[in-house]
Amino acid sequence: MTDLQSMKHSEESSRNGVERAAILLMTLGEAEAAKVLRHMGARTVQRIGSAMAQLRDVSRDEVGNVVSGFACDLEKSTSLGISSDDYVRKVLVNALGENKASGIVDRMLNKPSSKGLDALKWMDPRSIAEMIRLEHPQIISIVLACLDADVSAEVLSLLPETTRPDVMIRIATMDEVHPAALSELDEMVDRQLSAKTESSRSASLGGTRVAAEILNQVEAGQQAAMMDRINKIDSQLSEKIQALMFVFDSLSEMDDRSLQDLLRVIPSDRLLLAMKGAKPALREKIFRNLSQRAADTLREELDAMGKVRLSEVEAAQKEILDTARKLAEAGTISIAGSGDIYI
């Protein structure tokens, strides 16, 4: 491979999925790109829009590679003779993995038709929290179950501390939402945003998986406090939620190749701090997936390390988990929790 070809290959491979989507949309022109974006969720539009704004010096060859790659993926994914629901499910599973796609597809295909809920997805989490903080916990739980997990986590952290466990229990035990409950939600959103909704049927929302996804995004201290409170109220439910959560110890469930890819992008000082609070089994797995020299150095630094604040350890672990989620979303690695969730 020539130096020029190597440079082009490196340039293409350095783009993540969001950046490639941004490049593709920019080749379509304003009108056509707008049509595509209308079919995307609020958070996706925001991420792609941000990527489009930051793109600089995209070469003609790179544009060609992105378009060719898209055409190839489309040819592999498209299958005539299947229903639109099956097609959506297949494309998302190929892009995100079975378990992550499952929750998204369920929300896409079964969610209530509500302009109010769509409007909430574009709002700042602080504004959403301010709007719903005085509502009944059941209404709050329905709203959070309809939002993306990271947004729900931020909204949850802004709610009164005494309200959070009740809301999470309701989300975890939620299955189908009765039309009367949706009507109450619609009235509240209509009152706040002057939005109308035409929903009149039950919709699958919430569940332990949604609760786990939200709690995965919550700050470590708040997460522990809420899980402790939930455990005291309903220990069996707590166990189900915990089994589906992706926490630092869940890194021990990752395959070696994914863990190695993750460790390569983690700064050594952050890994050292995070390892301070890791269980022995996870420590050994991380050591095995480092080079002998790096593992020996890390062991020596851990042995020589003095006491550190728990909050600092938790912050370092959260940074590593956030990095793992981003790599998984880009399709670079697969991460599995104790409940075999891939995200």
The pLDDT tens digits of the residues spanning 52-64 come to: 777 777 777 787 7
Q: Does 26 or 191 have the greater pLDDT score?
A: 26
In a domain, 216, yes or no: yes
Given 215, 244, 273, the domain boundary residue is: 244
Tell whether the torsion through CA atoms of 103, 106, 109 and 114 is positive or negative: negative
Given 23, 57, 78, the domain boundary residue is: 78
Q: Are residues 116 and 240 in the same domain?
A: yes
* CATH code, 74: 1.10.220
Average pLDDT, the chain: 74
Tell whether the torsion through CA atoms of 188, 193, 196 and 200 is positive or negative: negative
What's the burial of 338, exposed, middle or buried (CB within 10 Å: 0-12/13-18/19+)? Answer: middle
CA distances to 22, 122, 256 from 298, in Å: 39, 44, 18
pLDDT band at 342 (very low <50, low <70, confident <90, very high): very low
For residue 80, report the phi and psi dihedrals to the nearest 5 degrees: -75, 150
CA distances to 98, 276, 298, 300, 306 from 303, in Å: 41, 10, 9, 5, 8
In a domain, 339, yes or no: no
164-173 and 149-158 helices, crossing angle to 10°? 150
Interacting residues of 289 by C-beta distance below 8 A, sequence separation 6+ = 256, 259, 260, 263
In a domain, 162, yes or no: yes
Whether the Cβ atoms of residue 341 and residue 244 lie closer than 8 Å to each other: yes
Q: Are residues 142 and 200 in the same domain?
A: yes
Residue 127 structure tokens:
């504004």
Taking the C-alpha atoms of residue 159 and residue 33, their distance in angstroms, rounded to an integer, is: 37
Interacting residues of 57 by C-beta distance below 8 A, sequence separation 6+ = none
In a domain, 91, yes or no: no
The amino acid at 250:
S
Q: Does 100 or 18 have the greater pLDDT score?
A: 18
**Per-residue pLDDT tens digits for 184-237:** 676 677 666 664 333 334 455 668 877 877 887 777 677 778 888 888 888 888
In a domain, 338, yes or no: no
Looking at the predicted structure, is the pLDDT value of residue 12 above 60?
Answer: no
Q: Are residues 227 and 268 in the same domain?
A: no
What does DSSP assign to residue 297?
H
Given 213, 244, 275, the domain boundary residue is: 244
Q: Are residues 36 and 70 in the same domain?
A: yes
Cite the DSSP H helix spans in 194-291: 208-217, 220-233, 235-244, 256-265, 268-275, 280-288
Domain that holds residue 34: 3-78
What does DSSP assign to residue 16?
-
Our CA dihedral for 38, 110, 70, 15, rounded to 10 degrees, sits at 80
Length of the chain: 343
